[in-house]
Amino acid sequence: MRIGRGPQIEVSRHAEMIAAAGMSRLAEPGDVHARALIEVLGLCDAYEFVSGSTALVVANLQQAVSELLESWGSKPGKRHLADAVSGWRARVNHDAVLDSVRQINRLGGGVLTAHHQGWPTQLNDLGMMAPFCLWWRGSLEPHDWPLQKSMVSIVGSRDASAYGNSVAIDLGSGIADKGLTVISGGAYGIDAMAHRGALTVDDQNFRMPTMAVMAGGLDRFYPVGNSDLLQDICARGVLLSETPPGTAPTRWRFLQRNRIIAALSESTVVVEARWRSGALSTAHHAVELGRSLGAVPGPVTAATSQGTLKLIKEGAELVRDAQDVALLMGHHDGYLPTETDLPFMKSESRAHDQLSANDLMLLDALPVRGWADVDSLSVASGLNVGAVLSGLSRFNGQGLAESKNGLWRKRASPSNRTPSA
C-alpha cells in the first residue's frame, strides 16, 4: 500500500479493512460460522450480507457454510447459519464501525487484515479460528513488528505469588535484553510483571520489547490499575485486540484472546498457574498450534505451582531463566551453558574434583590436625607406600598437603574440611 500500488487496490484494501472491522463488531472472536461465511462470500460480501444490505439465497449459503465447517472438522452443533446471522444482525451499526476506525486512527493505530503488509502470517495457523482483523495501537507500524521467531509469550496467574512476580520480571527483562519481544495479556500478576521486566531494557537499540494482546477494545485500558503500564506499552510497543474500541472484555473474549497470544509467538512460557488457570488455556493453544511450550516450576507445596508442575509432567520444557527461554525458541546461537554463567556454580567448584580415586582416598586419610607418616597413611588409605608417596608429591604441588620432618597433613582450605554426603 506504500509504493507502486494503484488506487483501485487501495480502495479494495480499504473496503476489506472496513468489512473486517465490521465483522469483528458483529461476530464474537473465534466464531466459525462468521469465518466460514467470509470464506464462501469473501470479506466484503459477507459483511454486506450480514449487515442486511445484500440479498442472497440463504438456503444455498447454509449448505456451503455447513460443508465448509464439516471439512474443517468443526462441530457447529445445533446452531444454524440463520440463527448466527440473526444474532449478528442485532448488533449491526455501520456508523459505529466507521467511528471505531476513526477512533483507532486517532489513538495512533489502525485495523490490520490478512491482506495487509505486516499482517502476522503466523495467525493464519489458527485456520478457521483466525481473527477477522487486528485492532492495534502503539509505537510501531505493522510492517515493523517483529517476526514470530523473535516473539515469546510469558503468561501466568493474576493472583501471582511474590516468587512468581519476581521470576516474571526477571524473565521479561532477560528476554528483551536478548532482543526478543515479550507478548502477554496486560493483566495483573505475571502478565504485568513480564511486560514491566521487558520495559526495563534500554530502548535505544530496541523499539519493541513487548506487546500486549487485550480481550476488549483498545480505547480504554483494562484493567484500570494497569493503565500506566499499558500506556508505557503503547509508547514503546504495541497493544492488539481483535475486538473494536468500545468492546467490553468478557470471559469468552479473555479465553479467545489466549489463542492469539499463543499463535503470535514462537514459544509460550507459563510462569505461574494454579491447577485451574486461564494461562493453561494459552498453553494448550500453543501445543495445538505446534508451538513449543515451557513452564517455570515452583515449590510443590504451593497452590500457585500446581498448573505449571502439571504442564512439566505432561511434557512442557522446564524453564529456569531467559537463557532456557531462548533455547526453547530455538535460538541456540552456538551457546552452551557453562558453569561460570551462574554465580552459584562458581563458588561450589572444589580443588579435589579432578582427583583420581586413589588420590581421593589418600586425601581422606590425611589428618587435618596433627601429622601422619607415610606408613600410617598407607594403612589409613589402603594404598601401598609407593602410591602414597606419589600422591603426596602431587598434593604438595597442588597445595593440598604440606609436610614437616617427613610427616604430612592436609593443608587447610574451606572445601577440604568435611566429607560431603
Quote the least distance from Cβ 400 to a second copy, whole Å: 12
Pairing relationship of beta strands 238-241 and 134-138 according to DSSP bridges = antiparallel
Query: According to the binding rule CB under 8 A, does residue 187 interact with a second copy?
Result: yes
- Give the footprint of a second copy on residues 199-218 (CB under 8 A): 215
225 CB-near residues (< 8 Å, 6+ apart)? 188
Among 107, 351, 387, 407, binds a second copy (CB under 8 A): 387
- Give the footprint of a second copy on residues 8-37 (CB under 8 A): 26-28, 31
**Dihedral of the CA atoms 166, 169, 170, 171 (nearest 10)?**
120
Among 53, 121, 275, 412, binds a second copy (CB under 8 A): 275
From residue 177, how far is each of 88, 171, 207 by CA, in Å?
A: 45, 10, 12
- Give the footprint of a second copy on residues 98-157 (CB under 8 A): none
Among 317, 367, 396, 403, binds a second copy (CB under 8 A): 317
Among 116, 137, 259, 274, binds a second copy (CB under 8 A): 274
**Dihedral of the CA atoms 389, 393, 398, 402 (nearest 10)?**
80
131 and 154 Cβ atoms separated by less than 8 Å: no
Query: According to the binding rule CB under 8 A, does residue 367 interact with a second copy?
Result: no
- Give the footprint of a second copy on residues 218-257 (CB under 8 A): 249-255
Among 3, 55, 300, 336, binds a second copy (CB under 8 A): 300
Quote the least distance from Cβ 298 to a second copy, whole Å: 6
Helix, strand, coil share (%) of the chain residues, nearest 5 = 50, 10, 40
**Is the Cα dihedral 216, 220, 224, 226 positive or negative?**
positive
Cβ nearer to a second copy, comparing 113 with 165: 165
Query: According to the binding rule CB under 8 A, does residue 412 interact with a second copy?
Result: no
Separation CA 229–CA 232 (nearest Å): 5
Quote the least distance from Cβ 383 to a second copy, whole Å: 5
Query: According to the binding rule CB under 8 A, does residue 306 interact with a second copy?
Result: yes
Cβ nearer to a second copy, comparing 28 with 141: 28
Quote the least distance from Cβ 82 to a second copy, whole Å: 8
Cβ nearer to a second copy, comparing 330 with 386: 386
Interior/surface letters 66-94, b for 16+ CB within 10 angstroms, e for the rest: bebbeebebebeeeebeebbebbeeebee
Query: According to the binding rule CB under 8 A, does residue 96 interact with a second copy?
Result: no
Q: Rounded to an integer, what is the distance from CA 204 to the centroid of its chain?
A: 23
